[in-house]
């Protein structure tokens, strides 16, 4: 009998690509929970279905629900057969978290609590997977990279609420024996990303001949990130789910803690200014940019992050498209699908 997976935030940028990976690599049934905020768009899922096989539509069931509220008996009845809960749904924009932190506490902490409470009631649950971020560790430098259980050092409300969700997942694993997995991820890019994010926003601004803002440190050194292509990330996520028991054993041997935590990242470390220059060259357009080292809208801006990848490389599941290749595909796609930049 085919497994069933519940994906929160399934109409989001990361969630919809995981749906695509499941459709193409398994026979799983998929339940999507999403409140369809500005970041959630069912057109993502619809395009994935149309590009693969319309028959896959029969395997997908959408549930409209805002996780700030507990799951009702009706919703719990719909998902009672679920084996895997993949909790991706979250508010994730740093600027928005600084402007309105209460929303992020509700979405990322209360929302995680409510989906954990629902998971306690799933008799067939095999795994609760909490999708977290490298931002919980705070800034790094070019040399140092954080291991999975290093201390938190949240620099903004977004990262703090994601760390809070991690701790809730750990507590429910230890208190209620919910089989759990936590992963940290670097910056993700790819097609159908919301246009508020740096790469599609830069594409949009260059196409519209607007100035691009590049954040820097106090010495005007541009911020930099590790990036992973969304297709690669979705492959890693499904690999980790399929190999959870092996990962659990290896991770416990190395980490001596439960549940297992895994870092996921690409190995392309690139500055924001280099990205702007690459996008300009791919579009074959001139562009203007300004260096901003004291953005009043983003006092919690971290210049660099870094994750240690030794564990995921040891257990398998590390995928990494060369950055310029993935970025070129992304720029070409947005150029041909500019309605996604609105």
The DSSP annotation for 55-109 comes to GGGGGEEEEE--TTSPPPHHHHHHTTT--EEEE------HHHHHH-HHHHIIIII
- State how beta strands 224-229 and 268-271 pair: antiparallel
Say which DSSP state 115 is in: H
Indicate if the alpha-carbon torsion angle 90, 95, 96, 101 is positive or negative: positive
**Residue 113 φ/ψ, nearest 5 degrees:** -55, -45
247 phi, psi to nearest 5 deg: -60, -40
Two tokens, residue 178:
């919910």
Whether 244 is catalytic is: no
Peptide bond into 231 cis (omega under 30): no
Judged by phi (left if over 0) then psi (alpha if -120 to 50, else beta), residue 85 lies in beta
d(CA 197, CA 158): 15
Helix (H, G, I), strand (E, B) or coil at 299: coil
Q: Which two tokens stand for residue 221?
A: 């050194």
CB atoms within 10 A of CB 308: 16
β-strands 127-133, 180-185 pairing: parallel
Rounded Cα distance, 142 and 68, in Å:
38
Catalytic residue among 158, 244, 289, 305: 158
Contact 287, 275 (CB under 8 A): no
Active-site amino acid positions: 158
């Amino acid at each position: 009998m085919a497994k069933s997976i519940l994906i929160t935030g399934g109409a989001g940028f990361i969630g919809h690509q995981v749906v695509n990976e499941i459709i193409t690599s398994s026979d799983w049934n998929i339940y999507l929970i999403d409140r369809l905020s500005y970041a959630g768009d069912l057109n993502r899922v619809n395009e994935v279905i149309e590009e693969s096989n319309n028959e896959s539509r029969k395997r997908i069931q959408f549930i409209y629900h805002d996780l700030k509220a507990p799951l009702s008996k009706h919703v719990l009845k719909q998902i009672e057969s679920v084996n895997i809960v993949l909790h991706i749904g979250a508010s994730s924009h740093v600027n928005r978290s600084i402007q309105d932190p209460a929303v992020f506490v509700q979405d990322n902490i209360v929302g995680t609590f409510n989906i954990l409470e629902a998971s306690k009631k799933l008799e067939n649950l095999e795994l609760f997977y909490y999708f977290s971020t490298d931002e919980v560790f705070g800034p790094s430098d070019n040399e140092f990279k954080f291991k999975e259980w290093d201390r938190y050092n949240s620099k903004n409300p977004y990262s703090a609420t994601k760390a809070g969700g991690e701790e809730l997942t750990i507590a429910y694993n230890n208190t209620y024996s919910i089989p759990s997995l936590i992963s940290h991820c670097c910056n993700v890019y790819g097609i159908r990303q919301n246009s508020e994010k740096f790469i599609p926003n830069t594409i949009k601004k260059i196409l519209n001949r607007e100035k691009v803002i590049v954040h820097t440190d106090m010495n005007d050194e541009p911020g930099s990130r590790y990036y992973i292509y969304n297709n690669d990330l979705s492959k890693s996520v499904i690999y980790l789910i399929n190999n959870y028991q092996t990962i659990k054993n290896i991770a416990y041997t190395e980490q001596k803690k439960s549940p297992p935590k895994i870092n996921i990242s690409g190995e392309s470390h690139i500055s924001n200014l280099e990205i702007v220059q690459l996008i300009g060259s791919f579009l074959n357009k001139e562009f203007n940019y300004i260096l901003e080292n004291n953005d009043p809208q983003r006092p919690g801006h971290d210049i660099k992050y870094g994750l240690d990848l030794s564990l995921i490389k040891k257990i398998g599941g590390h995928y990494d498209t060369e950055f310029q290749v993935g970025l070129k595909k992304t720029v070409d796609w947005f150029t041909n699908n500019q309605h996604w930049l609105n």
